[in-house]
Structure 1
Amino acid sequence: MCAKQLKDVTDVDALISYLKDKGESHTYYYHYTSWDSFLKIYENSSFLLTRGNSLNINDQQEAFMKGAPPIWDKTYIGSFAYGYSENMAMWGLYGQPASDAIRIAIPKTEMLNWIHAIKEVYIWDGAPIDSIHADVTLNDIVYVSGEARSDNLLLSHQNKTLETVNVPALNGVDTFPQMTGYIKNAAWRYENEVRIRIELPYVVDGNEKIMIKIPDSVLSSITVMEGPSFDNKSDDIYNLLHSQGRIQKSAFTGLLKYRSLCSLCVHGTFEKK
């Protein structure tokens, strides 16, 4: 039986079950991104996940010090967040450039129907090339502080904590192979991450991304929040979503001013590739 609270977790299997249960419990699933990236998601009815030890991942510490390298070589992640409130750090980290920043929201029912219906994933090399059956989960992340592999780690999830010194079966849990893709350093706790975690049955060399298809029911359920410094778009999808009332403004529109790297550049302005 799945532990209902973090304090009731007694071993690694119970911890993973707890994180999966919590991962499927959120009212909405939020993804901070750019308008251009969202257009690719919407137009292609697909979502790309990145291998967890890719050098393109922001958190390099997770792949080096959490879980186990052989599992990372075949594990791919797609990150979402829970909690309705806007996250200023997430706007700044993932909403670049600020004029294109958005947060998409997927309701619980559609998210769960999507994840439970995934039967195969696709190896991605600029386009889908091979399909493969894989283990797909939707799980929260547990955050850990303390010395690596220690008997005395502090596990955190939402506002709850658990000291592993009181749970011998969890001593050194941060490097258990089973925890690959389920645990991160507490420095990332502010993200409230819930992720799509996909573990392939074998390592696929040379491919850092896989693709999963998005059903029309999920696409039609998505709503978009514009970032605080978002510039209105004129493309067909923006006009369609706006006409359907599926675009809303940030509560901080015009009230947030992140320093642009271009302000430090001799060229002075930003120009897309």
Structure 2
Amino acid sequence: MTFPYARTFDEVLAYVKKRRCVCRSTRTEIPNPAGERVLIGGVYGVRYDFYCVKCARLREFTFRSTDPAADEPPAPSVIGLVRSTAEAHLFMDLHECEICAEDEFDRRVDAVTVHGELCSRYTGACAECGNPREFTFRLPEETLIPDPEEPSFGGERPSELLDAGEWLAVADAIAACTPADPAGLDAEERLLAHYEYLKAAAVVAEARKFVAYGAEVVSPQALWSSTGRAVHHADPGRFDRRQLERAENVFRDLAVAFGD
């Protein structure tokens, strides 16, 4: 993948000024003139977010610098605290390749230290286009030991990676892909559905952790993702503590039905 070179920020501005927005305006504003170091297609560069003054449309431009330091790998960017391996893989599954939208990549994990904190870094090439993928998470002080028969994503504290609405979206996806009736399924298929419904129950339990002590509902301020806010907008009642408990119990009852 080829990006234009820019030796100075003035060259960046000159390049952008020659490219009109869809509204035909060339007037732009940029909140962060320093840009953001990125790795796309094996090429390190700097991405700038410009906003059209006329229509407020976001316009992204990525440049490769002639500065030799620009070809050095940037320091890992820590996404947040990951409470378990299962949560790390779920987060990566939900964040597709920025080039081709594929979510699969051959994941290698290494322990690294970032700013004095122990982290896990997952790296690998996108299975579809080969784009390098990288996720770095801060590790907890205590490691959650997974139970192969009881899915779990973390301890008592809420997730820092996924908000309550995102957890409910995951539960919806699991329910949509799992049979609702064990009739006609062989033993292996029933066991798989049993585990998937246990996982869905654990996912809803993660959403329930966002109900603050003494409260009855998840606060809208705790929904920081566009997915989470969309789920809340579609049905705010789902974020009631009792509704979350009811949904979790429904999934557990389904798991029992497929386990019999």
Query: Do Structure 1 and Structure 2 share a fold, with TM-score over 0.5?
Result: no
Q: TM-score, normalised by structure 1?
A: 0.22
Q: Which has the larger radius of gyration?
A: 2
Q: Higher relative contact order at CA 8 Å, sep ≥6: structure 1 or structure 2?
A: 1
Q: TM-score, normalised by structure 2?
A: 0.23
Report which of the two has the higher share of strand: 1
